[in-house]
Amino acid sequence: MVVSVIQRGPGQPPEFSDVAAVAALTDPVRLKLYEYVAGQADAVSRDQAAEAIGVDRHIAAFHLDRLASEGLLDVAFRRLSGKQGPGAGRPAKLYSRSARQIQFSLPPRHYDVAARLFAEALTAENPAGALGEIARAHGQFLGARAWHPQAHKLSARRQLERAATVLAEYGYEPAVTSRQATLRNCPFDALSRDYRPVVCPMNRAMIDGLISGLGIDGITTEEQQRAGQCCVILTRRADVAS
């Protein structure tokens, strides 16, 4: 299942939940209000939105504010009369479509990540050669965000568990044993089926980068093709204490 509402920019605050935003749009009145506001060239007031879809103003206000709380609408205040100073009246609360983009899928897919990596590689003189380096750098960035100064002191087993925990946040659905972590979901599934020689090495490079960014060195990766699952397997290094 894939649900997409094309709106968000790269600066979207992380506290917004895509699942919650999708759930907010399941209410038929809320969906009508969202579609109305999104279709307007300028921000609209509660009165305008209520009249447009035929509901009371207080009902429109409740649902518009819910959409705003989920990051689906932006809010601004402006006097519609254009007057200033005493007697000009209170500013109206206005709503407009936000820049948020929602992508929610089961199982998780991240084709937008692959698209960005491919696009960046295409700007290089040797795109095929650059893709692995770009993917690794992206993985290092992701790992660095979860870096801990004591990570290198963890046992190999704990390092494996740590890497699996971070990979779970990105949709890989890891299954961890005492010595190995298999990744039950491929975030690039459709691409990997059609372009495996390109996508799988890119994916492995990104995971290698993530492990490096985490600051752990007791794990190795290998590729092993498995239908419906990620091709990368994480294994504890034999020469690192368990």
Task: Kindly state whether residues 17 and 95 are assigned to the same domain.
Answer: yes
The per-residue pLDDT for 21 is: 80
Would you say residue 78 lies in a domain? yes
Number of domains in the chain: 2
Per-residue pLDDT of the chain (242 residues; tens, 9 = 90+): 343 333 333 333 333 467 778 788 889 999 999 999 999 999 999 999 999 999 999 999 999 999 999 899 999 998 876 666 555 567 899 999 998 877 667 788 899 999 999 999 999 999 999 999 999 999 999 999 988 888 778 888 899 999 999 999 999 999 999 899 999 999 999 999 999 999 999 999 999 999 999 999 889 999 998 888 999 999 998 765 55
Indicate whether 87 and 115 sit together in one domain: no
pLDDT at 64: 97
pLDDT for position 237: 83
Secondary structure, 3-state, 120-173: HHHCCCCHHHHHHHHHHHHHHHHHHHCCCCCHHHCCHHHHHHHHHHHHHHCCCC
Measure the CA–CA gap between 190 and 131, rounded to whole angstroms.
19
Instruction: Let me know whether 59 and 86 are in one domain.
Output: yes
Which of 105, 134, 152 is where one domain is finished?
Answer: 105
User: Quick one: 143 and 83 in the same domain?
Assistant: no
Query: The domain containing residue 129 runs over which residues?
Result: 111-236
Give yes or no: residues 149 and 185 share one domain: yes
The reply to whether 80 and 122 lie within a common domain is no
List phi, psi (to 5°) of 111: -70, -25
Residue 203 is assigned to a structural domain of this protein? yes
**83, 105, 127: which is the final residue of a domain?**
105
Query: Does one domain contain both 127 and 213?
Result: yes
pLDDT at 22: 79
**Same-domain check for residues 160 and 209:** yes
Domain co-membership, 89 together with 140: no
- Rounded distance, CA 241 to CA 220, Å? 14
